[in-house]
Amino acid sequence: MEIATSPTREKYPLSQKKIIKKTITSTIGWSFLLIFLLFIVFDIGVGIMSTTNQNPTAIIGLLFATLYGFAFLLIVVALLSYLYQRWYFAVYFYDILDDYLVIKKGPIAPKEITIPWERIQDVYVDQDIFDRMFGLFDVHLSTATITSGMQAHIDGAEQQAANGLREVLLEKIRSRISKK
């Protein structure tokens, strides 16, 4: 799988740790759904077994079968999530151009965000709790629109790359403002 590249992404790269972080967080989210479904399946199974007067060892067998099914599904979810995150990482593109910043992300339903320098009001670096565990940072760009906070960001860079990218973006904004 070829990684989308640009001079900006080469100079300020995303970290491969982003793939692992996203895989773990999505697997945790899916595991809550799977645990909920596990309880439902087990409860239905116990209800059916109790109406047919099954012995307790059959219920224990059902419990183990349900747990094995849960473990198998969790492994499949983790593997699919990992493959998707590698694909997402590979197509993640951002570049600093003369008139605007371009961010493209999303392998299945790609989104392209083009932000003119004049519209950017703030550039900041932050971390959520999982970013902190993995030593990753997100570079956010604020504009006057509501959606800029959610969409206009570059996530998954290590501290040096994130701070360098922030400084380059701020310098580009300063130079554009001073020309006008």
pLDDT in tens, 21-80: 999 999 999 999 888 888 887 778 777 767 776 677 777 777 788 788 888 989 999 999
Q: Domain residue spans in the chain?
A: 108-179
- Tokens 């550039």 sit at which residue? 123
Nearest-5° Cα angle at 173, 171 to 177? 115
Q: Which H or E run includes 76?
A: helix 56-91
pTM of the model: 0.84
